[in-house]
Chain A
Amino acid sequence: MNQVPNIPARVLVTKIGLDGHDRGSRIIAAYFRDAGMEVIYTNPWQKIDAVVTLALEEDVDVIGISSLATDHLLVPKLMKALVEAELAHIRVVVGGIIPDEDEVDLLAAGVAKVFHPGAAREEIVEAVEKFAVDAANDRPQD
Chain B
Amino acid sequence: MNKIDKTPAPVLADSAADWQRNYDKMIGQDKTIKNRSGIEVKPLYWPQEDGDGSYVAKLGFPGADPMTRGIYPTMHRGRTWSQRQLIGLGRPEDFNERIKGILKSGATALSIIPCNSVYRGLDCDEVEPEILGTCGTILNTVEDMDISLKDIPIGEISIGLNDPNPFTMLAQMLIVAENRGISWDKITGTSNQSDYISHFVANHMFYRLSLPGARRVQMDTIAYLAEHVPNWNALSIVGQHMQQAGATPAQAMGLTLSTAIQYANDCIERGMDPEVFFERFTFFFDISISFFEEVAKFRAGRRIWNTLVTERFGVSNPRAKRFKFHAQTSGLDLTRQQPLNNIARVTAQAMAGIFGGLQSMHTDGYDEVLSTPSEDSAKIAISTQNILKHEAHLCDVVDPLGGSYYVEELTDAMEAEILDVIAQVDAQGGMYKAVESGFVQEMIGASALDYQDKVDNGEQIIVGVNAYQEEEDASARPVLKRPSPEHMQDQVDRFKAVKAARDPRALSKALDALRDAAKSKDQNVFAAELDAVRAGATLGEIVNVLRDELGFGMPLVVA
Contact = CB atoms under 8 A, between A and B. Distances in A.
A and B touch in the complex (CB under 8 A): yes
Interface of A: 17-23, 26-27, 29-30, 41-45, 69-71, 73-74, 77, 97, 99-101, 116-118, 120-121
Interface stretch (B28-36, B52-60, B113-121): B113-121
Nearest to A71: B131
Given A70-B134, A70-B482, A118 B337 contact: yes
A22 B557 contact: yes
Given A27-B449, A97-B371, A74 B206 contact: no
Contacts of B466: 118, 120
Given A43-B557, A45-B120, 17 more contacts: A17-B128, A20-B119, A20-B555, A21-B205, A23-B202, A23-B245, A26-B448, A27-B449, A30-B449, A30-B452, A43-B554, A69-B131, A69-B134, A70-B130, A74-B128, A97-B371, A120-B456
A20 B557 CA distance: 11
Given A22-B204, A23-B245, A27-B448, A99 B370 contact: yes
Interface string B433-454: 0000000000001001100100
A119 to B, nearest CB: 9
Interface string B191-205: 000000000001111
Contacts of A97: 336, 369-371
Contacts of B462: 118
A26 B443 CA distance: 13
B246 interface: yes
Interface in B243-262: 244-246
B135 A69 contact: yes
Contacts of A117: 335-336, 369
B480 interface: yes
Nearest to B129: A73
Interface of B: 116-117, 119-120, 122, 127-128, 130-131, 134-135, 202-207, 244-246, 335-337, 369-371, 445, 448-449, 452, 456, 462, 464-466, 474, 477, 479-480, 482, 554-555, 557, 559
B205 A20 contact: yes
Contacts of B474: 100
Among A20, A22, A27, max chain B CB count under 10 A is at A20
A77 B131 CA distance: 13
A29 B557 CA distance: 13
Given A70-B131, A99-B480, A18 B465 contact: no
Contacts of A20: 119, 203-207, 555
A21 B445 contact: no
Contacts of B206: 20
B203 A27 contact: no
Nearest to B370: A99
A77 B465 CA distance: 32
Nearest to A103: B474
Contacts of B456: 120-121
26 contacts: A17-B116, A17-B131, A18-B116, A18-B205, A20-B203, A20-B555, A21-B245, A23-B245, A26-B445, A26-B559, A30-B452, A43-B204, A43-B557, A69-B131, A70-B131, A70-B134, A70-B482, A71-B131, A73-B128, A74-B128, A77-B128, A100-B477, A101-B480, A116-B336, A117-B369, A118-B462
B440 to A, nearest CB: 14
A116 to B, nearest CB: 5
Contacts of B203: 20-21
Given A20-B204, A74-B130, A27 B452 contact: yes
B246 A23 contact: yes
Contact of A18 (B120, B246, B464): B120
Contacts of A69: 116, 131, 134-135
Given A20-B207, A27-B452, A69-B134, A41 B559 contact: yes
A45 B369 CA distance: 21
Contacts of B337: 118
A44 B204 CA distance: 8
A106 B237 CA distance: 38
A118 B116 contact: no
Nearest to A122: B456
B4 to A, nearest CB: 64
A99 to B, nearest CB: 5
A70 B205 contact: no
A73 B130 contact: yes
A117 to B, nearest CB: 5
A6 B142 CA distance: 54
A41 B480 CA distance: 31
Nearest to A76: B130
Contacts of A29: 559
Among B128, B245, B479, B554, max chain A CB count under 10 A is at B128
Contacts of A45: 120
A77 B336 CA distance: 27
Q: Which 5 A-B pairs have the closest CB atoms?
A: A20-B205, A20-B204, A18-B116, A73-B130, A118-B465
Contacts of B555: 20, 43
A124 B204 CA distance: 25
Nearest to A101: B480
Contacts of B205: 18-21, 44
B449 to A, nearest CB: 6
B201 to A, nearest CB: 11
Contact of B336 (A17, A41, A118): A118
A58 B522 CA distance: 46
B480 A19 contact: no
A18 B130 contact: no
Contacts of B477: 100
Nearest to A39: B559
Contacts of B134: 69-70
B118 to A, nearest CB: 9
A63 B448 CA distance: 22
Among B202, B203, B337, B371, max chain A CB count under 10 A is at B371
B209 to A, nearest CB: 14
A20 B204 CA distance: 5
A42 to B, nearest CB: 8
B166 to A, nearest CB: 17
A96 to B, nearest CB: 10
